[in-house]
Amino acid sequence: MKNSFINVSANEKNPNWNNIISRQMPLYSRNNDIRSEFERDYTRVIHSNAYRRLKHKTQVFYSPQNDHICTRIEHVNHVESVSYTIAHYLGLNTELTKAIAVAHDLGHSPFGHSGEKILNKISMRDLNTSFWHEKNGLYIVDNTELLEDTEGYKQNLNLTYSVRDGIISHCGEIDENSLKPRNDYIDLREYTYPNQYAPYTWEGCVVKISDKISYIGRDIEDAITLGILDEHLDELYKLLGNTDGTINNTVIINNLIYDLCQNSSPEKGLCFSDEALGIMNKIKEFDYKYIYLSDILKPSEEYFSIVINRIYDTLKNAYADVNTLSNLSKLSKFYPNLIKGFTDWFNNFSNISNRENLKNKILFDLTNPTDYYFAIILYIAGMTDKFAIDTYSEIIGF
């Protein structure tokens, strides 16, 4: 019910407040800064290059000719909108909720979940560790995304614990009802797989649920627009109980938000009615059967694998310990954009770089091949769809 969570909100009266607002390092301050800790996180995220690149990353459908088909950044905006509505109604901290929402998908690779799966195969083969976008998102905001400070030095984003936690804890692939935050203040590097732990805050829990609410309806709307569901609309009408043939994102989202807000409490957790949870899970099953696993997406997935593996192998094959940069320099004759882009990025984080104007963490030792391979995976994961395609075209062209 309205304001029923106000006493468990992330605020100064919360017993976990110091943990919630803690940062890995002190963040520079200014005498004229009027923002809260979470407002600073929000603006640090939306001013980052990783956030900007989301507008050219696949949500579900790659390179649609229709400008109104959802991209990754639109999905992020939808999650921000849904989670704000829920948090505001329940009396939770909307500033924290918004900061988690805009940051939650920063770790997504090009080509959506298809690209994520391809990079995971490469990572398991060469590094014996998994790649998943929630973990990559935390790594990005902690290590590779840089912003200039007031003195012109590049520093890591250095977000609060609660926002970092919300990123790695946001996995929307949940089927259980009643979501509550965990009690333990853990080292977030303890995560080994998605959905391993519940978020640390109620606001993180709201974003986690809002992620699912946001995508199941919008993906259907996009699929209808593209004509993919033409043969399955009667089944969808029956599933949703529509008698007038009206199916759109507005109806699906509003009903789920209202149901969640009416059925949740700090004692029960964030939960839907049995009826709404059943409908939501049926919608998810429908989406997987007729959208995500559709044969019409398979040709593009095969292409994504060729693109990502070719970029990775091109950079990987240049590795020669301390002579790696020399090998890359020789390749720049053929692949100038790829080599310059990668080496400039790599030098920001390597132990051989000139640290002028840099105050960020050193991540990579060039004498360690696994560091180098990991760097390639991170670099590719940051690419937009178009940049990855352009890079591949440069490699195969003359």
Q: CATH 1.10.3210.10 in the chain, residues?
A: 6-106+145-228+247-276
DSSP per-residue string spanning 208-254: HHHHHHHHHHHHHHHHHHTTTTGGGHHHHHHHHT-SS----HHHHHH
**Residue 150 in contact with residue 30, Cβ under 8 Å?**
yes
Q: Over the chain, what is the mean pLDDT?
A: 93
Q: How far apart are CA 356 and CA 348, in angstroms?
A: 10
Residue 173 is predicted with a pLDDT of 62
**Residue 378 in contact with residue 119, Cβ under 8 Å?**
no
Per the model's pLDDT, the better-predicted residue between 359 and 353 turns out to be 359
Reported confidence tier of residue 245, pLDDT bands at 50, 70, 90 = low
Question: What is the tens place of the pLDDT at every residue in 23-80?
Answer: 999 888 878 888 999 999 999 999 999 999 999 999 999 987 888 999 999 999 999 9
241 in the Ramachandran plot: left (φ > 0), alpha (ψ -120 to 50) or beta? Answer: left
Q: Whose structure tokens read 């407040």?
A: 17
Instruction: Tell me the mean pLDDT in the region 156-174.
Output: 91
DSSP per-residue string spanning 161-174: HHHHHHHHT-----
Q: How far apart are CA 51 and CA 43, in angstroms?
A: 11
CATH code of 6-106+145-228+247-276, in short, is: 1.10.3210.10
Q: How far apart are CA 247 and CA 261, in angstroms?
A: 22
Threshold 0.85, pTM exceeds = yes
Question: What is the tens place of the pLDDT at every residue in 206-224?
Answer: 999 999 999 988 898 899 8
Question: What is the tens place of the pLDDT at every residue in 308-348?
Answer: 999 999 999 999 999 999 999 999 999 999 999 999 999 88
Reported confidence tier of residue 252, pLDDT bands at 50, 70, 90 = confident
Residue 360 is predicted with a pLDDT of 81
Reported confidence tier of residue 19, pLDDT bands at 50, 70, 90 = very high
One-letter amino acid at 5 equals: F
